[in-house]
Amino acid sequence: MVVLLGDKCAEYGGQVDVEAHIETCSGILWRELEHSGDEILQLVIQCAEELPHKSTLYATLVGLLNLEDEEFGRKVVDTSHAKLQDALDSENCNKIRILMRFITVLMCSNVIPPSSVIEVFETLLSSATTTVDEERGNPAWQARADFYIFCILGCLPWGGLELAERVPDDLDRVMTEIEAYLSIRKHIFEPAFLPFETSADDNKDGGQDFLEDLWERVKLLCEDGWKVDSVPRPHLAFESRLVTGKSYEFRPVTCPEQPDQPSPSSDVMIGRQRHEAELKYPQRIQRLHIFPVSRTEENMKPIDRFVVEEYLLDIMLYLNGCRKQCAAYMASLPVTFRYEYLMAETIFSQLLLLPNPPFKGCYYALVIIDLCKALPGAFPTVVAGAVRSLFDRVTDLDLECQTRLILWLSQHLSNFQFIWQWEEWLHVLDLPRWSPQRVFVQEVLQREVRLSYWEKIMQSIQKASGLEELLPPKDGSCFKYADQKGDQSEGVEFSLSKELNNLVKDKKTSREILSWVEENIIAVHGHNVSIDVVVQTLLHIGSKSFSHLFTVLERYGNIISKLGSGQSNEILVIEETSKIFQNNTQMAAIAIDRMMVYRIVSNLSIVTWVFSPSNVEQFHTSDRPWEILRNALDKTYNRISDLRKGVISVEKSVQKAIEAKAKAQADLDSAEALLEAAESEELQGQMAVKLKRLKAAVDRTKQEESSEQESLEAKDALLSRALSENEVLFITLYRCFSDALIKHLSVDLTEKQEDVLGTDQREQMSIDSEEPSAMDADDDERRNQRFSKSNGLHSQAEQQWCRCTLGQVRALTRKYATEIWPHIDKIDAEVFTGDTHPSIVKAVYSALRRPV
């Protein structure tokens, strides 16, 4: 009953009266308080924390129970205080925000006096103001200060009216202090973290950051008398009773001290602290503005958008483990206006949030699928409109966001029979191979083939059959030693491949096969031919399925590993793997990834191979090389993360072993003292036996401590080695990026010219989200005329190549910033020297939030 409180009420799409439901629930709980008071207390607090879109209902419930049992009300206040203080100390952003809102609505139910809420606000305000003060604070931690102000402003839609009625002067003082804070804080403008490049231009023209936008909405709310239609106020029905209840002072809370400013101060030290602050206090949402404001904010006040976004984000956050219930709550918010467009925009804003979304992309895909089923008459059309809008602006979309959108759309369509109006996108066939829209459609179709099979996807695009040329080839394997019919042809290398294939069929051991390779291939034809024949043949045997591939690499991977010893040979192995799976990107990526797992090839070899000439040419036309590079970096990052977890685990074991040894030694010392004081022989004999046992326990605990210390030293050594390898990896990566880009970027390219380069193809479009997207005819004609000229085509293609490659520099730097910062000094010294092009430095520094 407590968990489902209000779910069947009119405000949440039901027909039950909310006041009656709360009254019934409070009556039942009151009768159980005497026997299960602690359990009820924990349940109500947990519901308020994890179902925050119903916090007003739970606050009213607490208010009614407080009338019957003042001890319960006091315990709720004390527990909320303890949880808020713990959240502040542990820097748990979500708990801080939710508990701040909960104590605000408890004030509305007269459980907490308004003066206590104002005191909490002013504590956070004081900490925030001190933080951004350059003399007394540490502006690098502005993210925390902004978050505190965000929490205060975020509480006002829920309790601003009561504060204005009961403590108007105090509320005015808080508003004035917030305005003063906003005047001294630094305006946030981070182009590398915006989903659209055009968003950066809009922001330069005087746009507001997330905190300034909320402040403007709260000011309008204040001018409107603090009336919010989207926040239920069930306590008003019980106001005459609640005012008679007792209020409990909410004890003062303390904010953690901000770290000292780095000394000596440098952009690297400041950047590291700022990165740490952003990790702990990330921005919750970055609005995409997919649809016109007239649709997303139709029939709602400015503050209502913020409130609905908070509802949606909280539901997705706390109900991520039960997607059906998540979609049900999202589809039935306690508001009187339509919000399907805003809901779609909010979900996509999370999916495309930079640097990282709160959850994996598949979670948002499931939420959208369930919402399409829950709201079949409205939401599918809205989602389709969002896709069209994003597709029309894909040229301006961040490269990482493009990849996420491709993965989401292919997964989404796979749940709806791959049905889409593909004919709307037929125009991409008239665009050059490197056009972002053409590449987008190509990658979506290729991802769909992975989720189904070639014939099914071919059937789904029958009405737009021209798109068949964007599908991957039907035959996924390109075995070098087979004729067109699939039978092996004659020739020396063909014969060797056939004989190797027979050895595998006869289930010869890897040692026997390796001996045969050394005698019959390496000794006669050389090392390169042996790599060619062995890799091609073994991978062809494993090309039937993933399980076949894994089995082959497990059984015979050591053969490839010995042949591919050394970076140059590893690159040959990767190249042959890519060749045999040149028509199947998924198998190529998985095979290379599995080879890295089995230590057949190294991450450095993969990075070097990705930047080989044949791959560099594909940087702007295919995601294939980038997918393989991302997999290699992900594997490296995951290995280091596992090693760190292992070190932490062993450190805990060492500490336990030290404590156990100290306890055993203390017991031994105590027993020795008793033995010395023993007078009777019988007692001395008993103590001697005990002493022997305790000495054995001390020896055992010493051995355990020694063993754990050795284990810790070993894991520390592995971690140190991995971090050193990681440093070399990123130095190599940035050096490869620099070498590849410098050939295309002119040496005298100024920052202004670079901006022109990035915006040359940008187009401003007005989007009708429910109608098929249409390209402007005049622009299309001019584009075709440009592309028809060889010089113009080359120039446009090169610009797009540079834009894609620099975009990947930003994306990878953003994603692995935590791993890059410890090595930034070495990277600066070895890569970002005076010869490095400023565009490359700018891309890296902006992704690290480091001043250029």
Tokens of 819: 């791993």
Specify whether 68 is located in the same domain as 120: yes
Residues making up the chain, counted from first to last = 852
Residue 474 lies in a domain: no
Label residue 415 exposed, middle or buried (CB < 10 Å: 0-12, 13-18, 19+).
middle
Predicted confidence at residue 10, as pLDDT, reads 66
Listed residue (401, 379, 376, 381) closest to 391, CA to CA: 401
Specify whether 449 is located in the same domain as 561: no
**Which pTM was predicted?**
0.89
More confident residue, 470 or 690: 470
pLDDT at 339 over 60: yes
- Single residue among 226, 254, 282 that ends a domain in this structure: 254
Residue 668 phi, psi dihedral angles, 5° rounding: -65, -45
Residue 665 lies in a domain: no
Residue 645 phi, psi dihedral angles, 5° rounding: -65, -40
Listed residue (231, 223, 221, 207) closest to 287, CA to CA: 207
Mean pLDDT along residues 578-596: 94
The per-residue pLDDT of the chain, averaged, comes to: 88
Residue 73 lies in a domain: yes
Rounded Cα gap, residues 461 and 472, in angstroms = 14
Specify whether 320 is located in the same domain as 435: yes
pLDDT at 759 over 90: no
Give the distance between the most distant pair of CA atoms in the chain.
Answer: 112
Listed residue (295, 336, 289, 286) closest to 313, CA to CA: 286
**Around Cβ 676, how many Cβ atoms within 10 Å?**
9
Say which residues have a Cβ less than 8 Å from residue 718's Cβ, sequence separation at least 6.
643
Residues facing 16 on adjacent strands: 9
Residue 560 lies in a domain: yes
In which residue are the tokens 């956070």 written? 124
Whether residue 355 has a cis bond before it, omega within 30° of 0: yes
Specify whether 113 is located in the same domain as 17: yes
Residue 673 lies in a domain: no
pLDDT at 154 over 80: yes
Rounded Cα gap, residues 500 and 748, in angstroms = 55
Residue 9 phi, psi dihedral angles, 5° rounding: -85, 165
Predicted confidence at residue 163, as pLDDT, reads 96
pLDDT at 780 over 60: no
Rounded Cα gap, residues 187 and 649, in angstroms = 41
**Around Cβ 636, how many Cβ atoms within 10 Å?**
23
Predicted confidence at residue 250, as pLDDT, reads 95
Residue 196 phi, psi dihedral angles, 5° rounding: -115, 140
Look up residue 322 and give its amino acid: C
Residue 522 lies in a domain: yes
Helix 681-742 to helix 838-847 angle, to the nearest 10 degrees? Answer: 150
Rounded Cα gap, residues 440 and 452, in angstroms = 19
More confident residue, 449 or 752: 449
- Single residue among 613, 635, 657 that ends a domain in this structure: 635
In which residue are the tokens 């949606």 written? 312
> Cβ(147)–Cβ(281) under 8 Å?
yes
Specify whether 73 is located in the same domain as 161: yes
Predicted confidence at residue 13, as pLDDT, reads 61
> Cβ(52)–Cβ(98) under 8 Å?
yes
Query: pLDDT above 90 covers what percent of the chain?
Result: 71
Listed residue (279, 282, 333, 337) closest to 309, CA to CA: 333
pLDDT in tens, 114-153: 999 999 999 999 999 999 998 888 999 999 999 999 999 9
CATH number of the domain that residue 177 is part of: 1.25.40.180
Tokens of 574: 């990767």
pLDDT in tens, 590-635: 999 999 999 999 999 999 999 999 999 999 999 999 999 999 999 9
Q: How confident is the model at residue 14 (pLDDT cuts 50, 70, 90)?
A: low
Rounded Cα gap, residues 181 and 130, in angstroms = 10
Specify whether 141 is located in the same domain as 33: yes
CA 726 to chain centre: 21
Residue 728 lies in a domain: no
Mean pLDDT along residues 182-197: 91
Listed residue (146, 131, 148) closest to 260, CA to CA: 131
Listed residue (80, 85, 156) closest to 111, CA to CA: 80
Mean pLDDT along residues 108-112: 95
pLDDT at 308 over 80: yes
Rounded Cα gap, residues 608 and 733, in angstroms = 8
Residue 85 lies in a domain: yes
Cα angle, residue 566 at apex, residues 560 and 570 outer, rounded to 5°: 50
More confident residue, 696 or 253: 253
Highest mean pLDDT among 168-172, 294-298, 761-765: 168-172
Predicted confidence at residue 6, as pLDDT, reads 84
DSSP string, 633-667: HHHHHHHHHHHHHHHHHHHHHHHHHHHHHHHHHHH
Specify whether 416 is located in the same domain as 301: yes
DSSP string, 210-273: HHHHHHHHHHHHHHTTS--TTS--GGGGGHHHHTTSPP-------PPPPPPPPSS--HHHHHHH
Mean pLDDT along residues 710-717: 94
> Cβ(574)–Cβ(609) under 8 Å?
yes
Task: Spell out the alpha helix ranges (H) of 415-483.
Answer: 436-451, 454-460
Specify whether 303 is located in the same domain as 344: yes
Specify whether 462 is located in the same domain as 496: no
Rounded Cα gap, residues 276 and 576, in angstroms = 42
Specify whether 302 is located in the same domain as 202: no
Specify whether 333 is located in the same domain as 458: yes
Rounded Cα gap, residues 165 and 176, in angstroms = 17
pLDDT at 484 over 60: no
Number of domains in the chain: 3
Task: Print the domain residue range for 89.
Answer: 2-254
Specify whether 461 is located in the same domain as 514: no
pLDDT at 350 over 70: yes
Query: pLDDT above 70 covers what percent of the chain?
Result: 91
Rounded Cα gap, residues 268 and 287, in angstroms = 30
- Single residue among 191, 226, 254 that ends a domain in this structure: 254
